[in-house]
C-alpha cells in the first residue's frame, strides 16, 4: 500500500525528521490482538512498524507496553487507538487507562468510513492495525474515559436478561415440538417445564435487581423515569438503552446513535437500472434493536403519531416490518433527545408545534396587511 513505509526508511526518518504524533493501532479479537505503531513527521510523512501480535490477557498487555516503550520516540506522546469491538476491547482499554496511557476507542462506523476513504479493499488484521494507527495519527479524537460503574452494572444485568430470554424461547420451542410429537416421554416434558420455570424466576430476579440498581442513583433514576413517560417504554427497556449507550455519553448526534444501533439506512441504487430495496444495515448493537422491538409495537397501536407513521409507510412500501423499524428508530431518537435535554415525554408535542407554526404564519400574514404609518 502506498502509505506504508518500511522499517529501514523509518530509521532514516527518525534521524532526519521530527515526529509530532504517534499512535498504536490495535485490531483486537477474542484471543489476541495485532498492533502497529504509526508516527507522522513534521513534514507529513507516515511511518509504521511491522505488525506484532499479543495475547488478549494481562501478560499480553504488559508485553504490549514494553514493546511500545522500546519502539516509540520518547519525546513524542503516544496514544492507543482501538475499535469498540463487542466486549473484547474492554479489558485492554481499562488496563491501559489504569496505568496512565491515553486511550481512544472509536465507534466501528467511524473507522469503516475512514477506511473507505482510503480505498483500502483488502481486509486482514494486520492491515486494520496499520489503518487504525494511521487513523489515530491523521485525525483528532476525544480521549476515552471509563464509563460510570452504574452503566456497566446495568448493561451486565440487561444483557444477561436478554440471554436468558433467548434460552427460554429456545426451550419453549422444544417443549412445543415435544407436546405435538407422538409418544414423547413425560419426563422430557416435565424437564422442559422445570427449566422454563427456573428461567422465569431468574428473569424476575434480574428485573428486581435492575429496579434496585436504578433507584440507587438519584440522577439516573430521575432521567430514566422521564424516559418511561414515553408510551410503551418501561423501566427495563429504558435502563437497557441507557446502559448500552453509556448514558449517551459518546454520542453527539442522532446520526451517530442510529448508526451505532444498526438503524442507519443502506441504499441499493445505481444509475437507472439498479433499484434495490432500501434497508437498515443491522451492523450495530443488537441489544438496542432487541429492546426497541416491543415498545415500538405498543406505540404503533396506542400513539396516534406512530400509528399514522406505520400506516403511511405500510401504504407506500407494503412491508409491515419496515414501518415497525422506522418507529423503533424514531423512538430511539426521542429517548436520546429527552435524555440530553432532561425532559419528559409531552403528548401531542408535534401537533402543538404545527399549531404554533400555523399561528405564527397567520400572525405574520396579518401584520403584512397592516397599512404603513409614516
| Residues written for the chain | 374
Q: Are residues 39 and 130 in the same domain?
A: yes
Cα distances (Å, whole numbers) of residue 303 to 73, 195, 295, 374 = 60, 37, 11, 52
Same domain assignment for residues 154 and 274 = no
User: C-alpha angle with apex 203: 197 to 206, nearest 5 degrees?
Assistant: 145
Residue 357 is assigned to a structural domain of this protein: no
* Confidence tier at 357 by pLDDT (50, 70, 90): low
Residue finishing a domain among 216, 234, 258: 216
Say whether both 336 and 293 belong to one domain: yes
Rounded Cα gap, residues 135 and 49, in angstroms = 15
- To which residue does cell 419426563 refer? 187
Does residue 374 sit within a domain?
no
Q: Is residue 1 part of a domain?
A: no
Measuring CA to CA, which residue among 62, 67, 35, 65 is closest to residue 51? 35
In a domain, 363, yes or no: no
Residue 176: predicted pLDDT: 94
Confidence of residue 8 (pLDDT cuts 50, 70, 90): very low
pLDDT single digits (tens) 311-321: 898 888 888 78
- DSSP reduced 3-state for 22: strand
Does one domain contain both 123 and 17?
yes
Residues 123 and 201 in one domain: no
The CATH number of residue 99's host domain is 3.30.420.10
Q: What confidence tier does 273 reach under pLDDT thresholds 50, 70, 90?
A: very low
> For the chain, what is the domain count?
3
* One domain, residues 208 and 329: no
Asked if residue 312 is part of any domain, the answer here is yes
Residue span of the structural domain in which 201 resides:
149-216
Q: What is the mean pLDDT of residues 149-164?
A: 95
The predicted-structure confidence for 175-184, as pLDDT tens digits, reads as follows 999 999 988 9
Given a cut of 80, is residue 223 above it in pLDDT? yes
H helices within 139-217, ranges in order?
A: 149-179, 186-215
Share above pLDDT 70 across residues of the chain, in percent, rounded to a whole number? 84
Matching residue, cell 405574520: 364
Q: pLDDT confidence of 349, banded at 50, 70, 90?
A: low
Amino acid at each position: 500500500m502506498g502509505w506504508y513505509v518500511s522499517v529501514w526508511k523509518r530509521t532514516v526518518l527518525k534521524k532526519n525528521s521530527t515526529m509530532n504524533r504517534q499512535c498504536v493501532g490495535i485490531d483486537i479479537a477474542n484471543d489476541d490482538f495485532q498492533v502497529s505503531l504509526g508516527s507522522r513527521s513534521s513534514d507529513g510523512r507516515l511511518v509504521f512498524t511491522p505488525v506484532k501480535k499479543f495475547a488478549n490477557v494481562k501478560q499480553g498487555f504488559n508485553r504490549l507496553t514494553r514493546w511500545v516503550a522500546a519502539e516509540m520516540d520518547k519525546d513524542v506522546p503516544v496514544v492507543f487507538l482501538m475499535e469498540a469491538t463487542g466486549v473484547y476491547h474492554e479489558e485492554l482499554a481499562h488496563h491501559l487507562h489504569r496505568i496512565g496511557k491515553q486511550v481512544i476507542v472509536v465507534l466501528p462506523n467511524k473507522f469503516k468510513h475512514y477506511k473507505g476513504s482510503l480505498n483500502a479493499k483488502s481486509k486482514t488484521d494486520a492491515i486494520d492495525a496499520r489503518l487504525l494507527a494511521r487513523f489515530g495519527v491523521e485525525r483528532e479524537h476525544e480521549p476515552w474515559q471509563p464509563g460510570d460503574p452504574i452503566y456497566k452494572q446495568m448493561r451486565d444485568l440487561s444483557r444477561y436478561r436478554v440471554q436468558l430470554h433467548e434460552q427460554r424461547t429456545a426451550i419453549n420451542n422444544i417443549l412445543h415440538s415435544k407436546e405435538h410429537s407422538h409418544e414423547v416421554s413425560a419426563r422430557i416434558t416435565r424437564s422442559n417445564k422445570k427449566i422454563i420455570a427456573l428461567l422465569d424466576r431468574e428473569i424476575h430476579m434480574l428485573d428486581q435487581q435492575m429496579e434496585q440498581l436504578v433507584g440507587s442513583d438519584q440522577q439516573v433514576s430521575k432521567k430514566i423515569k422521564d424516559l418511561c413517560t414515553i408510551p410503551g417504554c418501561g423501566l427495563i427497556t429504558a435502563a437497557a438503552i441507557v446502559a448500552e449507550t453509556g448514558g449517551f455519553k459518546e454520542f453527539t448526534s442522532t446520526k451517530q446513535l442510529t448508526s451505532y444501533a444498526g438503524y442507519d439506512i443502506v441504499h441499493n441504487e445505481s444509475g437507472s437500472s439498479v433499484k434495490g430495496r432500501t434497508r437498515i444495515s443491522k451492523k450495530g448493537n443488537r441489544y438496542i434493536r432487541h429492546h426497541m422491538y416491543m415498545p415500538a409495537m405498543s406505540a404503533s397501536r396506542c400513539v396516534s403519531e406512530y400509528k399514522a407513521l406505520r400506516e403511511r409507510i405500510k401504504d407506500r412500501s407494503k412491508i409491515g416490518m419496515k414501518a415497525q423499524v422506522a418507529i423503533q428508530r424514531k423512538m430511539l431518537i426521542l429517548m436520546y433527545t429527552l435524555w440530553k435535554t432532561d425532559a419528559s415525554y409531552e403528548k401531542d408535542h408535534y401537533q402543538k408545534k404545527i399549531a404554533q407554526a400555523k399561528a405564527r404564519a397567520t400572525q405574520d400574514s396579518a401584520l403584512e396587511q397592516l397599512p404603513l404609518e409614516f
